[in-house]
């Protein structure tokens, strides 16, 4: 099936006034928004139109019972000036897994890719060529049916918004191993990128911040002994030259960057262990004065070194710097998606841009 996308170009671009050296993430969308409606069992009314507010009924189900699912992905300016969307098929797979868990309709691949291509095609000027900058893409699906009562909605909206994002490489974080609050339990929906996973994380994070930490390092719901993830990042450790990361279960987000880093490590012959890792194992390694690396990996910040881990009130300090394995692998990942090294895994999806004259004639 094909999905015609109606293009309604903005006559009022904000691009000329936007300062790419002062990016404040999350507040300044590009000129356009993609949107489609699900009704009578199918996606329709696909449009790329000027970004603007929209009306929603107070009875809309997403406002009450949490049927909302999202993605976070990026488009990059390649060194030859083309534009690349990083692994859109992989993101779509996860989006559809999240949607399935929340009883929401799947997004067909043709629609997802066409929507991204059209939106980025028209807003291509927003993909900054400043190294490290990129265009953040936020697909969002929510229940729009206006009919109170806990039930599967019959109507949904699918939107994609885009906004510039800066290079955050230099931020390292202090984390606290969380042993009382829980992010996700077995059998729940922790693996889904659904709104309900994030609200309950705010209070434990606020409490950790009050103690001087940036984030909590979640542990499993049952025993609070095994490390899961942190904020919106998957976590990895290097102990005895082995790259160790918790395995994918239904309580952990299946990160696209996690997957990419593991593929790069395996390509280089680095031993990779996807297995449960208890905080006591980290504690033991630190106590034996081993060099331990710890870092978070995810779309928003890409690579975030962890400079301090608090385990039950005791501080431990992972090694940091340019020579660490985590730093090297994340540089390699950035080199691929900016076109500085070969795209040997087929991760880069090149977008055709639309020039003003073409837009005018559609
Ligand atoms: C999005 C997200 C991640 C990272 O996934 P990426 O696909 O690499 O961006 C990790 N954990 C949580 C909870 C997330 O929401």
- Cα 361 to Cα 33, 48, 96, 159, 357, distances in angstroms: 20, 15, 34, 25, 7
Categorize the per-residue pLDDT at 361 as very low, low, confident or very high, splitting at 50, 70 and 90.
very low
Can you tell me whether residue 268 is helix, strand or coil?
Answer: coil
Does the pLDDT at position 359 exceed 70? no
- Per-chain mean pLDDT for the chain: 95
Per-residue pLDDT, 362: 47
Does the pLDDT at position 168 exceed 90? no
Does the pLDDT at position 272 exceed 60? yes
Instruction: Please tell me what DSSP assigns to residue 105.
Output: P
Instruction: Please tell me what DSSP assigns to residue 234.
Output: E
pTM score, two decimals?
0.96
pLDDT digit string, tens, across residues 109-121: 999 999 999 999 9
| Residue 73 CA, closest ligand 1 atom number | 9
Separation of alpha carbons 234 and 196, rounded Å? 18
Question: Which of 28-32, 69-73, 141-145, 350-354 shows the lowest per-residue confidence on average (mean pLDDT)?
Answer: 350-354
- Determine the distance separating the centroid of ligand 1 and the alpha carbon of 82, expressed in angstroms: 26
pLDDT digit string, tens, across residues 277-294: 999 999 999 999 999 999
Determine if ligand 1 sits within 6 Å of the CB of residue 298.
yes
Is residue 257 classed exposed, middle or buried when 0-12, 13-18 and 19+ CB atoms within 10 A define those classes? buried
pLDDT digit string, tens, across residues 129-150: 998 899 999 999 999 999 999 9
% the chain with pLDDT above 70 = 96
Per-residue pLDDT, 356: 53
CB 25 within 8 A of CB 166: yes
Radius of gyration of the CA atoms of the chain, in A: 21
Determine if ligand 1 sits within 6 Å of the CB of residue 229.
yes
pLDDT digit string, tens, across residues 230-261: 999 999 999 999 999 999 999 999 999 999 99
Determine if ligand 1 sits within 6 Å of the CB of residue 193.
yes
Name the residue among 57, 22, 152, 168 with its Cα closest to residue 99: 152
pLDDT digit string, tens, across residues 52-103: 999 999 999 999 999 999 999 999 999 889 999 999 999 999 999 999 999 9
Determine if ligand 1 sits within 6 Å of the CB of residue 255.
yes
The more confident residue out of 302 and 2 is: 302
| Residue 234 CA, closest ligand 1 atom number | 10
Determine if ligand 1 sits within 6 Å of the CB of residue 251.
no
Q: DSSP per residue over 307-323, as a string?
A: EEEEETTEEE----STT
Q: DSSP per residue over 129-183, as a string?
A: -STT-EEEEEEEEEE--B--SSS--S-EEEEEEEEEE---TT--EEEEE-SSS-S
């Amino acid at each position: 099936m094909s999905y015609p996308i109606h293009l309604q170009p903005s006559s009022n671009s904000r691009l000329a006034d936007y300062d790419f050296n002062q990016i404040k993430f999350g507040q300044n969308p590009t000129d356009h928004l993609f949107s489609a409606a699900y009704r009578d069992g199918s996606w329709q009314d696909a449009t790329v139109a000027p970004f603007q507010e929209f009306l929603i009924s107070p009875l809309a189900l997403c406002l009450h019972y949490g049927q909302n699912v999202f993605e976070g992905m990026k488009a990059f300016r390649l060194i030859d000036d083309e534009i690349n969307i990083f692994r859109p098929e992989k993101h779509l797979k996860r989006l559809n897994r999240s949607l399935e868990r929340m009883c929401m309709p799947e997004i067909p691949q043709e629609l997802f890719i066409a929507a991204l291509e059209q939106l980025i095609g028209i807003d291509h000027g927003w993909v900054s060529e400043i190294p490290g900058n990129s265009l953040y893409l936020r697909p969002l699906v929510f229940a729009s049916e206006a009919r109170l009562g806990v039930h599967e909605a019959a109507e949904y909206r699918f939107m994609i918004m885009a906004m510039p994002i800066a290079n955050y490489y230099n931020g390292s974080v202090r984390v606290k191993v969380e042993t009382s609050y829980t992010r996700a339990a077995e059998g729940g929906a922790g693996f889904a990128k659904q709104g309900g996973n994030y609200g309950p994380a705010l209070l434990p994070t606020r409490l950790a911040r009050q103690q001087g930490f940036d984030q909590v390092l979640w542990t499993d719901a049952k025993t609070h002994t095994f490390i899961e993830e942190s904020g919106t990042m998957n976590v990895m450790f290097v102990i005895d030259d082995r790259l160790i990361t918790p395995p994918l279960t239904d309580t952990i987000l299946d990160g696209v960057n996690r997957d990419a880093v593991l593929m790069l490590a395996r390509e280089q012959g680095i031993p990779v262990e996807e297995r449960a890792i208890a905080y006591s194992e980290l504690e033991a390694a630190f106590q034996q004065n081993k060099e331990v690396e710890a870092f978070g990996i995810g779309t928003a910040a890409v690579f975030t070194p962890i400079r301090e881990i608090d385990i039950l009130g005791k501080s431990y300090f992972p090694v940091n710097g340019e020579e660490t394995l985590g730093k090297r692998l994340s540089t390699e990942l950035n080199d691929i998606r900016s076109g500085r090294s070969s795209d040997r895994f087929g991760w880069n999806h090149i977008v055709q841009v639309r020039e003003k004259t073409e837009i005018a004639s559609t």
